[in-house]
Amino acid sequence: DTGVSQNPRHKITKRGQNVTFRCDPISEHNRLYWYRQTLGQGPEFLTYFQNEAQLEKSRLLSDRFSAERPKGSFSTLEIQRTEQGDSAMYLCASSLEVPDTQYFGPGTRLTVL
C-alpha cells in the first residue's frame, strides 16, 4: 500500500510565474485535502474534495489559487501570478469517508524569488 505522493518535492520560481503541483492519494481514498504550512506554523487547510467534487474551500484560497480533481483520483493545485508570500510547504492528504483519518504526503516546498 503506497502512501500519498506529491510532485515536485521542491519548486523554485520567480514572482509572477504560474506553478502547478500534483498529488496522488492512497488508492481507493475518495477524500483529498490540500493544506499550506509556513515556517514555524502548523498546516492550514486550503480545500477538500470528495471524489471529483470540491466541497469546501478556505478563505486562504485566493482567486489566484485553483484546485482540481477531474477524475476523482489525483489532484492538481495551481497558483497563478505567484507572490513571495506564497512561499510555503504545500501538503496533500487523503482519507476514506469512514474512518475519516487523514494521511499526509511528503509535501511540495515552494520558494518564490
Partner 1 sequence: AQSVTQPDIHITVSEGASLELRCNYSYGATPYLFWYVQSPGQGLQLLLKYFSGDTLVQGIKGFEAEFKRSQSSFNLRKPSVHWSDAAEYFCAVGASRDTGRRALTFGSGTRLQVQP
Residue numbers of the site for partner 1 (CB under 8 A)?
4, 6, 31, 33, 35, 40-45, 48, 55-56, 58, 91, 93, 99-107, 109
Closest CB 53 distance from partner 1, rounded Å: 12
Minimum CB distance to partner 1, residue 72 (Å): 16
Q: Which conformational region is residue 2 in: left (phi greater than 0), alpha (psi within -120 to 50 degrees), or beta?
A: beta
- 50 versus 80: smaller Cβ distance to partner 1: 50
30: Cα separation from own chain's centroid? 15
Q: Distance of CA 34 to CAs 10, 23, 31, 43, 47, Å?
A: 16, 9, 11, 9, 5
Three-state SS at 25 = coil
CB 1 → partner 1: shortest distance, Å?
14
Closest CB to partner 1 among 80 and 106? 106
52: region left, alpha or beta (phi > 0 left; psi from -120 to 50 alpha) = alpha
Q: Which is nearer to partner 1, 13 or 45 (CB)?
A: 45
Question: Rounded to the nearest whole angstrom, what is the least distance from the CB of residue 73 to partner 1 in the complex?
Answer: 18
